[in-house]
Structure 1
Amino acid sequence: MISMATILRYRTRILFHGTHVAGIVGANDVGYGFQGVAPNATLGMYRELQDIFGCEIDRPTSDDIVISALLMAIRDGADVVSVSVGDFGGWSKGDVLSDVINDLKVDTAVVKGATRILLYMNSTELVYLTNFMSGAQVATLTKEDGELLVSELRKNPNLKATFPSRHSSESVDGGGLVSFFSQYGPSYDSVNIQPNFLGVGRDILSTFPRNSGSYAMMSGTSMSTPQVAGIAALIKGFRGKDIKALKLKAILSTTAQQVPAAVGSSEIETTIHAGGGLVDAFCACFAKTVLSIDALALRDIPNFKAQHTFTITNEGDKSHSFRTGHSPAITVITFQPGSLRVSAKVETVPGSPAAQAQVSPATFTLGPKASQDIHVTFTLPTGLSPELLPVYSGYISVLSDAECERHTLPYYGIAGVMKNTRVIDIGPDTEDKEQQVPRLTDSNRQPLKGPISFDGNSGVALRYRLAFGSPYMRVDVIDANATLAKEGPSPPPMQAMPDIGANFTLSKRTFLGANLVGMLPTSNSTYAPRTASAHTVEISWNGTVIPIGSVKPSFRIPSGHYKILIRALRVNGNPNTDADFDYWVSPAISVSGSPVIQRPTTPQSRSPPASTRGQSPASYQSHAAGL
C-alpha cells in the first residue's frame, strides 16, 4: 500500500497531512478504539514536492511528478496507490509536457546562480511548480503579484515582504449527503462519470504528529481518497491480488449505496455528483455476483446511445434469483437561462424529468459460475431546455434478496448538444468589469483607445476567458485585410471525438479562407478546461510568431497591419473542420519596427468588427464537465 502524501512546508495544518492520510489507511489500534481501514497493510510513502502556498492551491503538484511517483510505486511492488491531489480539468486526458517546460525555466535560473526563485508568467493563469527542484527553492506568483514585487524592488532593492494567511469558514449540510467540497462531473468527452464512487471525507479521525496531540479530525477529498484506497486493499487481500483494476472499480461502484439529494428526501443525488454512491466495504469483499462494467455514459443528444448491454456473473457456488429495475436520480442544469457561464450553484430541474429505461430480462435465476446478459433501452427525457445542458441520471438495478447480491449501475446523459455550446466567453473582464473580454490592452493591461499600434519596444496583451472546455485552442495572427469566409453548414456530428494528442498542433495554414501569418508563442493548448470564475487569461504579444506547419524558430513579423485570431474547438468538434471552432477577431493592430509588408494591389474587403463565431445565439451556451 503506497500513500503519496502531500507534505507542504509553510502551512502548519498541511504539515499533518501525510500523517493523517497514512493513519486513515493503516493505523493500528493502540488502545483508543481507533484503527485504519486496512491496519495490516504495509505502507510506503512518497513525498510530492510542492509550492509554498498550501492546500488552498488547487494544483499542489505537477503531472510529471505524480506520474514519476506512480511508476516508482509500481516498481517497488505496490498493490494499491493512494494519491490525494487534484486540479482544474474536466478532460479524461492531460498535458504533461507543459509541466516539464516550466521546470526547464527554473533549471535555467539555477544555472545562472539562483537558489531561491519567485516565478510568475506573462499569463494571468497561475503556474504551479514544485517547491524544491534543481537545488533551488521555488514559489510561484500571479502575474499581478509578480509585477508588483518587481516594481517595488526597483524602488527599494532591500524590500522585505510578508504574506498574511486568510481563513474562512462556512456551514455545511447534514451527514449522509455528498460533501460541499466534492466535485461534479462528468468529463467533457463523456469518458468518465466522475466521481466514480464516494468515500467518507468529512470530520475523519486519524493520526497526527505526537507533539500536536497524536489524533485529530480533518476533512476533504484527501481523507476520502485513502479510505477508498484502504478498502481496495481489503478487497485485494480478500479476493486476491490478481484482481483486475477495472473489475475492482466495477465492484466498488455497483455495490455502493445510493445517496439522497437532501436530508430527509426520497430523491436520489445525481450520479455526476455521487457516482455509484457511498462505497460498501463489506459487500465489495463478500459479493459473489459481479457486474461487467461500472457505469453507463449515454452522451449528448446527437451521440445518444439508447441500447446497452452488460453482464452479471455468479462467481459463487449458490444460485440467486434477481429482479431488474430503474431508479431515476435528480436532473440538474449546467447553465442558468441566458448565461454563458457554468452555474456556480448546481440547481435541480423542477420535477426532475428523467429518462425512461426498459430492462430485460425483468427476472432471472443465476446458477453457480453462470452469467446473464442484461439489456437496457433508454428513451430521452422530455420537457427539458437543451440550451441549459441538463444532465439526467439514475441507476439500473439488479437485485436479489441475498445479502450483498444487490447491484446498482449508475448512468448519466446530457439532454443537449455539446457541440452547440459556446466556448469563448463574452462578458466582463474579472479585472475590470466595465471592459468586455476578449479584448486587447497595452503591456500594462490598460484599455486601448483609438488605433492600436506598437513598435519593437512594446506590445499588446490579449485577455480572454473560456466559458467551456475545449479539446484544442490557439491564437494566430492574420493580415488586417483578411476576410473570413462565411461558414457553411457543419458536417454531421461525429460518433466519437477525434484523438487529439497532448502536444497536437494544427499545420493548416488557413482558417475560413484567411491566411495565417503565424501562431502566438505558448498559445497552442490541448484539453483546456473552462477558465476559473475569478480568472481571466492573458497572453502578451510583442510581434513574435511561430511559423505554421514548420519546425523553424519563431520570428518577428514585418511591419504592417494585423489582427489577432483566437480559435477554440468545440466539444466533439473536428480540428480539421473550421466550422467547428468558436473564434474571435481583434481590431486591427499596426506593428512597426521592421520592413513594411508588401500589400496586395487589390486589397480584400476588411473583415467585420471583432466578433465571435457566426454570432451563435446566446441561448447556446456551455455544459457539463468538471462543473
Structure 2
Amino acid sequence: GNTGVLDLHEQGILGEGVTVAIVDTGIDYTHPSLGGGLGPAFKVVGGTDIVGDNYQGTNFFPDPDPYDCGGHGTHVAGIVAGEDKNFYGGTGEDALIQAFVQAYEDGADVINASIGGPGGFPEDAWATASSRIVQQGVFVAISAGNSGDRGLFYASSGSTGVDVMSVASIANEEFFAFNTEAVAGDDAKRDIAYLQSGVEGFKLAGPVPVYVTSLDKFASSDACTALPEDTPDLSKYLVVVRRGGCQFNIKEKNLVDKNATYIWFYNTPKTPIVYPNIEESVSKGFALIAAQDGEFIVERFANGGNATVNFPQELQGIGVNNTLTGGKMSPFTSWGPSFEAQIKSEIGAPGGYIYSTIPLKQGSYAVFSGTSMASPYIAGVAALYMSKYGGRKKLGYTGVLELKNRMIASGTLVNWNDGTKTDLTRLAPVAQQGAGYVNALKALTYTTTLSPGKLELNDTENTKPEHTITIRNSGNQEVTYTFTHEAAGTVNTFKRGSKVPQLFPPTFVNDSATLQFLPQNMTIPAHSNGTFKVIFTPPKNLKTTLLPVYSGKVVITSSEETLSIPYQGIHGNLRDVNIWQTEQFPFLASYRTGEEIREPARVTLSGDDLLTAVFSNNFGTPEVRWDVVTEGYDPNKFVYPPVVGEKGFVGSVRTLEERVDFPIRYEPRHDPLGMGFSWFNWGGGLVNGSRIANGKYRFVFMALRVAGDRSKVEDWDTVVTEVVTIASGP
C-alpha cells in the first residue's frame, strides 16, 4: 500500500543506527533475511529469553538465547527489519514488564510488543510501565488486539497506556501469490496466480495436466462427497475444484482418496479471497485461485477440451490485488474507546495478509494476519524517523510525543468495510481505526506539526466541547491553513434491550457532531506557531441508553500539505452503564456442588465445603469488591474505604488460588464469545491475614461503575447475599 515507506527507502532513509527491541516469542537470527547471525556485527545485535523455553505461564526459566521456538516473533521481526527480493519489510504481565525494562536498559530507541489481552484501563500495570518508558524518550508501539468481533469498548491491555501508540490492522492491498501459466488445448493462455498459506510453493516444475472434478462452474458443493467410482488415479494431475458447500479439509480428503497430490480450490464470485487453511492436511499442497481463473479452466473442459498448467523452474512471487478488503480495516482489529474515553487504536498499518519471515525450520516465510503484524510496521516507521532526527537521547519525551502526533496527523480515514464489502458512503469509526492509514512520508517530511495529536471529548457529563489546537510551521515560507470537518461513522455500543456491548458489525446511526472553527483559516509566518479553536456540538438525535460513539477529524489543509486530528465523543454517561446484570451475577455457590446459594445456608469452610463467587462483567470496572459483613448490614450506609469493625464491615476476602486479595482493580469486561465469567474460591481467609470466626454473615459484591465516585454508594453495582452461617470444626 502507499504508506510512503518505499519513498523514504528511495531517499536513503533506512532506519540505520536505531535500536528496535521486539518483545515476543524470540527470533530466528540464523534467517538470511534477518542478517544470518547474532551479535554486534549483525542486524540482530542481541537478545535474551526472559521466561525460558519451558515457560508454561507461571515459573520463569531464563536463558541467554533469544532463538524463536514459536514463529510469531520472527514474523514480527521480518516486518521491522527483513530484506528479501519478494518483500521489504518495513504472557504474563510481569514477564512483559520485565522485558520492557530490559529493552530500555539495553538502550532500545523503539520497543514493539505484538501481544495483549482484554484491558481498557491505562492504569493497567503493563500499560503504566510502558507509558513510563515512553517518558524516557522511547517510542512504544503495541498491537490493538484481535478481538474486533467483541464490539466496542474492548481495548487491549498494554496498548491502552496513555503515551503508547496503539496500532490497528489494515488489510494488505495485495496478496502474496505464486505465478503460473495455464495453457488450454485450443492454445488459449492465461497467467494464474495461486495463494498458499505456507508460501513455500508447490514442488512442481514444467507442464502438469489438469483434472476438474465438475464441469459445472456453478457447482455448489464440488467434491463435498466421495468422488465417482470411475474417477481416474489423480496422482499425476493438478486437481481443480470449486470452493464452497463444505470445508476445505472435506474436499481434500475426498480428492486424496483418489490419490490427488496437488489441489487448486477456485474461489466463488464476490467471496473474499483467503489463504486456505487445513489443520492436518493430507495432500502435498493446496492453494486458492481466483474465481475467473478457475472458470477459465472449467470452461475448456466443459467445451470438450483440456488444459495444462506450466509451473516455472524457479518459484515466481507475485502480488494479486485485494479488491474486496485491501486498504480497509481488518474486521479482527479490537475496538475502543478505552474505559477512560481515550482514542485507542490511534493509527492503522498493514496487518492483514502480511508476508514475512518465520524460523527456517518452519519454512522460512509465511503469510500471517493480525494487529501483531501492523504494530511492528509502525515501530519500523518510528525507526525511520529516529534515523533522520535522532534517537531517544536526542528526542527525549517531548520529541517522542511529537513523533507520535506526527504519525497520527499523517493518517487517512478509510471507508467502512464489514469484511466482505466496502461502503463508500461512510468512513469507519475512529473507535475502530484511530487516525486511519499511516503515511510515513508525511510523518517524516512535512513542515507542519499539530498539537494535541487527538481530541478526546469524553462522555456527556464530562464533555469537553472546546479545544485549542496549535499549528507549528517549521518551513521557510509563510503558509495559509484552512480548517474543515470530516465526519466518521457514529455507532451504538448497545443494542436495544441488551446490557452487553453488541458484537461486530455494530449498528450505525446517521448523525454526527457539528464543528465550529475560530478562525476558519489563518496564515502563519515561517518558523512560527498559530492557534485556533474548535467548538463541538454533539449529535442531537441519538439514544443515550445505547451509548453511541461519534467521531471524525479536524482537517488542516495548506496548498502543499494535508494533516488531520481525530476526535471521538460518547453520547451518554459511562457512569450510568451497569457492570452487572444483578439478577444473574454475581452469585455465591457451593464449591462442592457448584449450585447457587440463593437462600440461607450453612458451611464449615473445611474439606471441600467451601464457597465460590462467580462474576460476569458486562463492562469494565475500576474496582470489584467481595466483602464479609454482619448479618444486619445496611448496604446504603457503605463508607469508602470501609473500616473493619465499623458499620458492619468484617473484612475483605483473600481467595484460595494464588491468594487473590479483594478488592481487585481495573478489571476488563468479560469475553462475550469466551467463558464470559470468572470465579474465585474461598476457605475463610481475610485480607488482613486473619481467619473468619464462626457466626452468621452476609457477603457483599460491589463493582464501581466507570467514572464513578467511590464514596457514592449509588455509583456502585451492589449485591448482598442471604445469611450464611459459618460453623467450622467441632
Fold-level similarity (TM above 0.5): yes
Q: How many Å apart are 1:166 and its aligned residue?
A: 8.0
Per-residue Cα deviation, 1:392-428 (whole angstroms, up to 9, x for no partner): 01100101231xx21110000000011111112346x
Contact 2:605 2:611 in 1 (8 A): no
Alpha-carbon distance change, 542 to 173 in structure 1, aligned in 2, over 3 angstroms: farther
Match in the other structure for 1:22: 77
Contact 1:341 1:425 in 2 (8 A): no
Pair 1:399 & 2:554 matched: no
Match in the other structure for 1:539: 680
Match in the other structure for 1:222: 372
Q: Distance in 1 between matches of 2:692 and 2:475?
A: 71
Q: Equivalent of 2:650, from 506, 517, 525?
A: 517
Match in the other structure for 2:443: 284
Q: Distance in 2 between matches of 1:259 and 1:214?
A: 33
Contact 2:428 2:488 in 1 (8 A): yes
Q: How many Å apart are 1:370 and its aligned residue?
A: 1.3
The one-letter code matched in structure 2 to 1:87 is G
Q: Equivalent of 1:526, from 647, 657, 665?
A: 665
Q: Distance in 2 between matches of 1:438 and 1:235?
A: 50
Match in the other structure for 1:258: 413
Q: How many Å apart are 1:591 and its aligned residue?
A: 1.2
Contact 1:320 1:367 in 2 (8 A): yes
Q: Distance in 2 between matches of 1:450 and 1:588?
A: 7
Q: Distance in 2 between matches of 1:475 and 1:167?
A: 46
Match in the other structure for 2:93: 63
Contact 1:425 1:464 in 2 (8 A): no
Q: Distance in 2 between matches of 1:485 and 1:222?
A: 47
The one-letter code matched in structure 2 to 1:525 is I
Pair 1:556 & 2:556 matched: no
Pair 1:421 & 2:577 matched: yes
What SS does structure 2 have at the residue aligned with 1:468? Answer: coil
Match in the other structure for 1:78: 108
Q: How many Å apart are 1:287 and its aligned residue?
A: 0.7
Alpha-carbon distance change, 516 to 594 in structure 1, aligned in 2, over 3 angstroms: farther
Q: Distance in 1 between matches of 2:534 and 2:598?
A: 60
Q: How does 1:38-49 map to 2 (within 5 A)?
A: none
Alignment RMSD: 3.0
The one-letter code matched in structure 2 to 1:316 is G
Match in the other structure for 2:340: 189
Q: Distance in 2 between matches of 1:183 and 1:217?
A: 20
Q: How does 1:278-317 map to 2 (within 5 A)?
A: 278-317=437-476
Contact 1:355 1:380 in 2 (8 A): yes
Q: How many Å apart are 1:238 and its aligned residue?
A: 2.1
Match in the other structure for 1:124: none
Contact 1:340 1:426 in 2 (8 A): no
Identical residues among aligned pairs (%): 30
Pair 1:245 & 2:394 matched: no
Alpha-carbon distance change, 453 to 166 in structure 1, aligned in 2, over 3 angstroms: farther
What SS does structure 2 have at the residue aligned with 1:15? Answer: coil
Q: Distance in 2 between matches of 1:271 and 1:397?
A: 14
Pair 1:578 & 2:713 matched: yes
Q: Distance in 2 between matches of 1:585 and 1:560?
A: 17
Runs of 4+ aligned structure 1 residues displaced above 6 Å come to: 8-11, 165-168
Q: How many Å apart are 1:188 and its aligned residue?
A: 0.8
Q: Equivalent of 1:337, from 473, 496, 519?
A: 496
What SS does structure 2 have at the residue aligned with 1:545? Answer: coil
Q: How many Å apart are 1:208 and its aligned residue?
A: 2.4
Contact 1:172 1:180 in 2 (8 A): no
The one-letter code matched in structure 2 to 1:396 is V
Q: Equivalent of 1:361, from 519, 527, 536?
A: 519
The answer to which structure has the higher strand fraction is 2
Contact 1:509 1:515 in 2 (8 A): no
Q: How many Å apart are 1:461 and its aligned residue?
A: 1.3
Contact 1:6 1:84 in 2 (8 A): no
Q: Distance in 1 between matches of 2:104 and 2:599?
A: 60
Alpha-carbon distance change, 525 to 251 in structure 1, aligned in 2, over 3 angstroms: same
Match in the other structure for 2:703: 568
Contact 2:622 2:665 in 1 (8 A): yes
Match in the other structure for 2:24: 5
Per-residue Cα deviation, 1:194-242 (whole angstroms, up to 9, x for no partner): 0010111011111223344322211111111111100111111123333
Q: Distance in 1 between matches of 2:365 and 2:545?
A: 50
Contact 2:491 2:509 in 1 (8 A): no
The one-letter code matched in structure 2 to 1:3 is I
Per-residue Cα deviation, 1:316-341 (whole angstroms, up to 9, x for no partner): 21332221011111111111111111
Per-residue Cα deviation, 1:421-450 (whole angstroms, up to 9, x for no partner): 1112346xxxxxxxx332222113134475
Contact 1:95 1:526 in 2 (8 A): no
What SS does structure 2 have at the residue aligned with 1:472? Answer: strand
Alpha-carbon distance change, 414 to 399 in structure 1, aligned in 2, over 3 angstroms: same
Alpha-carbon distance change, 303 to 438 in structure 1, aligned in 2, over 3 angstroms: same
Q: How many Å apart are 1:75 and its aligned residue?
A: 1.9
Contact 1:442 1:448 in 2 (8 A): yes
Q: How many Å apart are 1:579 and its aligned residue?
A: 2.6
Per-residue Cα deviation, 1:237-284 (whole angstroms, up to 9, x for no partner): 123333311111100001111111131413111111111111101111
Q: Distance in 2 between matches of 1:508 and 1:486?
A: 10
Q: How many residue pairs end up in the alignment?
A: 467
Per-residue Cα deviation, 1:342-367 (whole angstroms, up to 9, x for no partner): 1122423331x111110122122222
What TM-score, normalized to structure 2? 0.60
Q: How does 1:327-476 map to 2 (within 5 A)?
A: 327-351=486-510, 353-402=511-560, 405-426=561-582, 436-444=584-592, 445-448=594-597, 451-457=600-606, 458-476=609-627
What TM-score, normalized to structure 1? 0.70
Per-residue Cα deviation, 1:24-50 (whole angstroms, up to 9, x for no partner): 111124xx242222xxxxxxxxxxxxx
Q: How does 1:200-219 map to 2 (within 5 A)?
A: 200-219=350-369
Give the unaligned 5+ runs of structure 2: 1-19, 27-51, 57-67, 130-156, 158-277, 282-321, 655-660
Match in the other structure for 2:305: none
Q: How many Å apart are 1:167 and its aligned residue?
A: 9.4
The one-letter code matched in structure 2 to 1:536 is F
Contact 1:253 1:276 in 2 (8 A): yes
The one-letter code matched in structure 2 to 1:28 is E
Give the unaligned 5+ runs of structure 1: 38-60, 100-127, 129-164, 428-435, 488-504, 547-551, 596-627
Q: Distance in 1 between matches of 2:124 and 2:599?
A: 40
Match in the other structure for 1:275: 434
What SS does structure 1 have at the residue aligned with 2:493? Answer: strand
Pair 1:34 & 2:87 matched: yes
Q: Distance in 2 between matches of 1:229 and 1:368?
A: 31
Q: How does 1:43-192 map to 2 (within 5 A)?
A: 61-95=91-125, 174-190=325-341, 192=342
Contact 1:484 1:514 in 2 (8 A): no
Match in the other structure for 2:164: none
What SS does structure 1 have at the residue aligned with 2:517? Answer: strand
Match in the other structure for 1:593: 728
Q: How many Å apart are 1:506 and its aligned residue?
A: 5.7
Contact 1:543 1:591 in 2 (8 A): no
The one-letter code matched in structure 1 to 2:21 is I
What SS does structure 2 have at the residue aligned with 1:85? Answer: coil
Larger Rg: 2
Match in the other structure for 1:614: none
Contact 1:333 1:346 in 2 (8 A): no
Q: How many Å apart are 1:87 and its aligned residue?
A: 1.3
